[in-house]
Amino acid sequence: MVDVAIQNITGYAGLSAGLLLSDHPEFKLVAVSGRADAGRMLSDVLPLWSSSRDLRIETAVPAVDLVLCALPHGAAAAAIVPLRTAGSKVVDISADFRLRDASTYATWYGEHPAPEMLASAVYGLPEWRRSEVATAGLVGNPGCYPTASILSIAPVLEAGLIEPFITIDAKSGVSGAGRGLSLGTHFSEVNESVSAYGLSGHRHTPEIEQELSAVAGSPVEIIFTPHLIPMTRGMLVTCYARLTRPVTSQELLELYRERYRNEPFVRILDSSPSTKWTSGTNLCLIHPTVSARGSHMIVLGAIDNLVKGAAGQAIQNANLMFGFPETLGLDRSVVFP
């Protein structure tokens, strides 16, 4: 068994990872942390947790075989440095090791606490970086918006079928904002309302551009607008791009099905996906089509923001890092909240 610790288990991503690990045949959860709840038992904080596998919540986790770090950006990197020095493999669910360039990180997040480690980190989107993840000691788990966006648009960029300027309209459930309290995610403010945010620039923009540019082999520019939807979980992205040559919707479907033919967590649909179809799963559902005038393509992607967009993908990456089948432990639904 591989000993696993979760740093900051009491957040939504950390909790989801813990629930997935509870039945994993190869990973054993041995330590957890949570700053505000340190000293309490996990079952006291999370009543759905089984007392038979209870753990005391600590302020930090020890260096074990694998650490899933669900701390906020900045705090994550500071905690990961000693863990990596001690030999732990780490999957970072924060944004600290997604961007390769320290100056780009500084523009969007502030000064990076450990810029010397950026070069050794691997961007953990298995469908596009599987071989790199398999040999990595440090993986930057993609954000939820980038996961859905990159999986949805990358195949046509790789094929040279679209121009390198993409518009992404994205919608997320409220759990994507985390478990902390704020006016912007208060029930009375969010319920029966839809709102856009990050209009002047959202911090997931450089992450999406970085990875799509790598796929295209040249710079890609996006306009990315996220929206908050009055639902607990789920994410839907709608991507628009101008075609470089005429193509039919059927040709697009065939292209996507061939590119993702062996991907266990990506399914190509004949019609638009719904977020509810992905709830609690590590799936990404994609539907590509051609616009009515034939000049643009539209592709829709749906994921569960807490599973494929966070905890599930982290375990998918961890499976690869330890040489296990990447589907291991991900054949069950996790729905909390």
Rounded mean pLDDT of 288-309? 96
300 bridge partner residues: 238, 287
Rounded CA-CA distance 311/94 in Å is 11
pLDDT at position 45: 82
265-297 tens-digit pLDDT: 999 999 999 999 999 999 999 999 999 999 999
Which band of pLDDT confidence, cut at 50, 70 and 90, is reported for residue 227?
very high
The answer to whether residue 337 scores a pLDDT higher than 90 is no
Rounded mean pLDDT of 312-330? 97
Could you give the percent of the chain with pLDDT greater than 70?
Answer: 99
Amino acid at 50: S
Rounded to 5°, angle at Cα 305 from 318 and 7: 45
Residue given tokens 């759905």 in the structure block: 48
Which residues fall within 8 angstroms of residue 44, CB to CB, at 6 or more apart? Answer: none
pLDDT at position 308: 98
Domains along the chain with CATH numbers:
2-141+308-321 (3.40.50.720), 145-305 (3.30.360.10)
The answer to whether residue 187 scores a pLDDT higher than 90 is no
Amino acid at 101: D
Amino acid at 329: G
Paired tokens of 193: 């309302």
Rounded mean pLDDT of 202-207? 94
Residue given tokens 């694998």 in the structure block: 66
Amino acid at 308: K
Backbone torsions φ then ψ of 263, nearest 5 degrees: -95, 115
Known catalytic residue at 144: yes
Q: Determine how many CB atoms are found less than 10 A away from the CB of residue 193.
A: 10
11-53 tens-digit pLDDT: 999 999 999 998 899 999 999 999 888 989 988 887 777 766 8
Rounded to 5°, angle at Cα 30 from 265 and 46: 75
Residue among 69, 144, 239, 284 flagged as catalytic: 144
pTM of the model: 0.95
7 bridge partner residues: 69
Continuous H helices in the chain: 12-21, 42-45, 75-85, 102-109, 126-134, 144-158, 187-190, 205-216, 249-259, 312-321
Q: Is the CB of residue 56 less than 8 Å from the CB of residue 33? A: no
Q: Is the CB of residue 69 less than 8 Å from the CB of residue 121? A: no
Rounded mean pLDDT of 92-119? 96
